[in-house]
């Protein structure tokens, strides 16, 4: 049995794929002895599948390639195919345009073995188009040391329990036993998978080492990525994904923790919508109408946005004043054109003050907490 099966969905990633695969083959945990690599193509229009097949021919004992019947438009279907094909004791995931540190698998394998964990989470970092890492990792290295996660530990666990599947290692038996799968054909599949795993896990640990690097691609290339398309369909599909994730927390009666998940999703989604150039004013009305349930949750579970302008925007959407909401989006969007990408990214993340507000202000009416259909 392989120690680790790593699953990579591909879609038009020929520019980065060899670098991604190279960082897996060159791991300090011997590739040929310990690692199974599963490359699942979502019907790419470029040479991604051809490149994958060439690697499979070179490493027939370690690499499996597969292809979806038709393009699914998100990573969920390819990842689920990969999970079904995996035979390793543990599962790891990567996007085809990102890369692992060369000692990532050794660190994560040793950690999950030592802890006997259902899954483990690592620190991670962003990298520029050329793969050069940013100065600071995502999680503050001085604040967060290795620790066991607790769903009631809002101050620490809520920060490191993020939605990505790529900075984690999962016990495959745990995943299969609990039938944990990605949502298919819509974005947000990673949030659903990770949070479902977290809600069903008994032992989850955070490891402070930086193992994964998330490449920030040039804006001209981002249209190839589902998460960067930011079309009307993207936002309508995200509504479905958020609904499914919210319902998971309702089912497990863990709305206290969901409030922090919601805080991240709310700010991130709103700024994606504000910044999008692919959604017309008329389409924004449709998006606002479809997502009104989601923004109403800010009142139901008592999670206000830190920025006053965003609170005003949310209130306007809830009231159904979509014309005014569109105007507010334009004003905020114009101001954001003068900001650097780093500043804009930071604005889309919850501030500590938002988390402090959540901690200070409990949910006022628990009777309103129910599934959304």
Mean pLDDT of the chain: 93
Residues 236 and 209 occupy one common structural domain: no
Tally the domains of the chain: 2
Residues 282 and 206 occupy one common structural domain: no
Residues 214 and 261 occupy one common structural domain: no
pLDDT of residue 342: 74
The residue range of the domain holding 94 is: 4-220
- Residue 373 falls within a domain, yes or no? no
pLDDT at 220 over 70: no
- Residue 282 falls within a domain, yes or no? yes
- pLDDT tens-digit map of 224-234: 455 557 899 99
- Residue 341 falls within a domain, yes or no? yes
Q: Looking at 201, 220, 239, which one is the last position of a domain? A: 220
- Residue 128 falls within a domain, yes or no? yes
- pLDDT tens-digit map of 298-312: 999 999 887 788 899
pLDDT of residue 218: 67
Average the pLDDT over 13-24 and give the result. 98
Residues 176 and 46 occupy one common structural domain: yes
Residues 202 and 242 occupy one common structural domain: no
- Residue 270 falls within a domain, yes or no? yes
CATH at 116? 3.90.550.10
Residues 45 and 174 occupy one common structural domain: yes
- pLDDT tens-digit map of 309-359: 889 999 999 999 999 999 999 999 999 999 887 788 777 777 777 788 888
- Residue 275 falls within a domain, yes or no? yes
pLDDT of residue 223: 41
- pLDDT tens-digit map of 121-180: 999 999 999 999 998 899 998 889 999 999 999 989 999 999 999 999 999 999 999 999
Percent of the chain exceeding pLDDT 90 equals 81
pLDDT of residue 222: 43
Residues 82 and 165 occupy one common structural domain: yes
Q: Looking at 186, 220, 254, which one is the last position of a domain? A: 220
pLDDT at 219 over 70: no
Average the pLDDT over 66-93 and give the result. 97
- pLDDT tens-digit map of 97-126: 999 999 999 999 999 999 999 999 999 999
Residues 110 and 184 occupy one common structural domain: yes
- pLDDT tens-digit map of 268-291: 899 999 999 999 999 999 999 999
Residues 129 and 234 occupy one common structural domain: no
pLDDT at 216 over 60: yes
pLDDT of residue 109: 98
Percent of the chain exceeding pLDDT 70 equals 97
- Residue 225 falls within a domain, yes or no? no
Q: Looking at 193, 220, 247, which one is the last position of a domain? A: 220
Please tell me whether the overall predicted TM-score, pTM, comes out greater than 0.95 for this model: no
- Three-state SS across the chain? CCCEEEEEEECCCHHHHHHHHHHHHCCCCCHHHHEEEEEEECCCCCCHHHHHHHHHHHCCCCEEEEECCCCCCCCHHHHHHHHHHCCCCEEEECCCCCEECCCHHHHHHHHHHHHCCCEEEEEEEEECCCCCECCCCCCCCCCCCCEECCCCCCCCHHHHCCCCCCCEEEEHHHHHHCCCCCCCCCCCHHHHHHHHHHHHCCCEEEEEEEEEEEECCCHHHHHHCHHHHCCHHHHHHHHHHHHHHHHHHHHCCCHHHHHHHHHHHHHHHHHHHHHCCCCCHHHHHHHHHHHHHHHHHHHHCCCCCCCHHHHHHHHHHHCCCHHHHHHHHHHHHHHHCCCCHHHHHHHCCCCHHHHHHHHHCCCCCHHHCCCCC
Residues 197 and 246 occupy one common structural domain: no
- Residue 72 falls within a domain, yes or no? yes
Residues 256 and 199 occupy one common structural domain: no
Band the pLDDT of 217: cuts 50, 70, 90.
confident
Residues 283 and 135 occupy one common structural domain: no
């Amino acid at each position: 049995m392989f120690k680790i099966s790593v699953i990579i969905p591909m879609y038009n990633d020929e520019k980065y794929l060899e670098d991604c695969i190279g960082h897996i083959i060159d791991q300090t945990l011997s590739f040929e002895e310990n690692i199974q690599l599963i490359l699942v193509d979502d019907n790419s229009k470029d040479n991604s599948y051809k490149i994958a097949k060439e690697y499979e021919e070179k490493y027939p004992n370690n690499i499996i390639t597969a292809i979806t019947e038709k393009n699914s438009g998100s990573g969920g279907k390819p990842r689920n195919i990969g999970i079904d094909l995996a035979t390793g004791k543990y599962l790891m995931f990567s996007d085809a345009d990102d890369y692992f540190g060369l000692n990532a698998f050794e660190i994560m394998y040793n950690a999950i073995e030592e802890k006997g964990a259902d899954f483990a989470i690592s620190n991670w970092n962003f990298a520029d188009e050329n793969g050069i890492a940013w100065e600071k990792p995502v999680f503050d290295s001085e604040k967060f040391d290795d620790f066991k996660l607790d769903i009631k530990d809002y101050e620490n666990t809520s920060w490191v329990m993020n939605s990505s599947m790529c900075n984690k290692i999962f016990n495959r038996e745990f995943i299969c036993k609990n039938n944990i799968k990605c949502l298919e054909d819509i974005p947000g599949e990673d949030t659903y998978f990770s949070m479902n795993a977290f809600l069903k896990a008994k032992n989850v640990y955070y490891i402070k080492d930086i193992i994964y690097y998330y490449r920030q691609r040039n804006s001209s290339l981002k249209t190839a990525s589902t998460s960067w398309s930011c079309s009307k369909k993207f936002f309508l599909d995200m509504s479905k994904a958020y609904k499914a994730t919210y319902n998971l927390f309702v089912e497990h009666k863990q709305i206290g923790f969901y409030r922090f998940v919601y805080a991240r999703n709310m700010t991130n989604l709103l700024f994606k919508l504000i910044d999008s150039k692919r959604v017309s004013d008329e389409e924004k009305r449709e998006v606002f109408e479809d997502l009104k349930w989601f923004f109403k949750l800010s009142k139901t579970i008592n999670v206000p946005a830190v920025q006053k302008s965003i609170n005003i925007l949310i209130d306007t959407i809830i009231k159904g004043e979509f014309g005014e909401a569109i105007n507010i989006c334009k004003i905020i969007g114009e101001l954001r054109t003068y900001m650097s990408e780093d500043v804009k990214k930071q604005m889309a993340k919850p501030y500590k003050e938002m988390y402090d507000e959540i901690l200070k202000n409990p949910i006022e009416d628990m009777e309103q907490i129910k599934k959304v259909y």
